[in-house]
Amino acid sequence: MSYVNNIKMFVRVYELGSMSAAARDQRTSPAVASARISELEKHLGVRLFNRTTRTLQPTENGRLFYDGARRILESIDEAEAAVMDVTQNPRGTVFVAAPLGIGRRLIAPAVPAFKDDWPQIDLRLRLSDRIIDLAAEGLDMAFHLGLLEDSALKVRHVADCARVLCAAPSYIAQRGMPEDGAALVSGRHDCLNLRFPGAREFQWTLATPDGPRRFDITGPFESDDGDVLTGWALDGRGIVMKPLFEVAEHLATGALVPVATATPPLPTQLSVLTPHRRLKDPKVRLFTEFVIPRIRAEMAARLAILPA
């Protein structure tokens, strides 16, 4: 298996562009990662990367080898999945990504119970509100909040998600109640912005009498963590757009109140994305089938506390 491990390390170094990042991904040290690449280069008789103290770039041979190396690893995954008895002996690691709010509230609570049922399967949960590249980050599956126009991934619908614009009563007392999207962009209100590398400009798409319309919103606060935005909203610092289930408890207690209700946000959806090559992996299917009903049940329970 040492040759296969060397190929795995090469693929992760190539995709992440960093020896240290690949070492962390493979749960080893940079020295071990470098040694594996050197051993692979010696076996092949070619240099796969041009390395300096500051940069690491694949050579032409490295770029050629990458495509074949990916196919080798995918074939191994498929072969292992074909012979694994899913009801008796599932094993291995599943790498799962999710947005912060979804992961904290809906997925993380289910992980220990899954581990109890399937002790030989390890879960690695990666939470971030930024855009995730499954292939580049070596992920088996990712939960995605938003509408997908086109995707090369297998997409499975999990749940529809209503959204709400809301603010603290203290904010409303100071700034007034905005009735619609036009009021949000009038200069009288601060909107709390989710921002991360690769994000689009700040726009909220709202339902108006003339159909969906994008509003260019502004405000002095932004973060790449949606829960930070909720905290600022609770502190009276501005207006936030959130999935309804995430702020249901605050709406139920009156800590947050809906605003701009004449032009509500368009609903979105929660999906799980899987590379097609992972579809036959029993441990990925097991976790998917385990967690989706629990996500739906938890979302329903959170929404049930809201007044009818």
Q: Are residues 8 and 144 in the same domain?
A: no
Whether 72 shows a pLDDT value over 80: the answer reads yes
Q: Are residues 52 and 198 in the same domain?
A: no
Q: Are residues 33 and 74 in the same domain?
A: yes
Residue 75 lies in a domain: yes
Q: Which has more pLDDT, 130 or 248?
A: 248
Single residue among 61, 83, 105 that ends a domain in this structure: 83
* Rounded distance between C-alpha atoms, residue 140 and residue 122, angstroms: 12
Residue 206 lies in a domain: yes
Q: Are residues 153 and 282 in the same domain?
A: yes
Q: What is the pLDDT of residues 200-226, one digit of tens each?
A: 557 899 999 999 999 998 899 999 888
Paired tokens of 301: 């329970």
Confidence of residue 247 (pLDDT cuts 50, 70, 90): very high
Q: Are residues 155 and 299 in the same domain?
A: yes
Is the CB of residue 124 less than 8 Å from the CB of residue 95? yes
For 231, other C-beta atoms within 10 Å of its C-beta total: 14
* Rounded distance between C-alpha atoms, residue 161 and residue 247, angstroms: 12
Q: Are residues 121 and 191 in the same domain?
A: no
pLDDT recorded at residue 155: 87
The count of structural domains within the chain is 3
pLDDT recorded at residue 84: 58
Average pLDDT over residues 269-288: 83
Q: Are residues 203 and 56 in the same domain?
A: no
Residue 308 lies in a domain: no
Q: What is the pLDDT of residues 86-145, one digit of tens each?
A: 556 678 889 999 999 899 999 999 999 999 999 999 999 999 887 777 777 788 899 998
Cα–Cα nearest to 6, from 52, 50, 41, 31 = 41
Domain, as residue range, for 253: 163-266
Q: Are residues 177 and 256 in the same domain?
A: yes
Q: Where are the alpha helices (DSSP H) in 201-270?
A: 226-234, 244-253
For the chain, give the percent of residues with pLDDT over 90: 48
Q: Are residues 78 and 117 in the same domain?
A: no
Residue 226 lies in a domain: yes
Question: What single string gives the DSSP state of each residue in 93-122?
Answer: EEEEEE-HHHIIIIIGGGHHHHHHH-TTEE
Strands 154-161 and 268-274: antiparallel
Confidence of residue 182 (pLDDT cuts 50, 70, 90): very high
pTM > 0.85: no
3-state secondary structure of 202: coil
* Rounded distance between C-alpha atoms, residue 249 and residue 243, angstroms: 12
Q: Which has more pLDDT, 193 or 129?
A: 193
* Rounded distance between C-alpha atoms, residue 179 and residue 208, angstroms: 12
What's the number of CA atoms in the CB half-sphere (13 Å) around residue 187?
Answer: 0
Q: What is the pLDDT of residues 81-96, one digit of tens each?
A: 666 555 566 788 899 9
Q: Are residues 232 and 176 in the same domain?
A: yes
3-state secondary structure of 249: helix
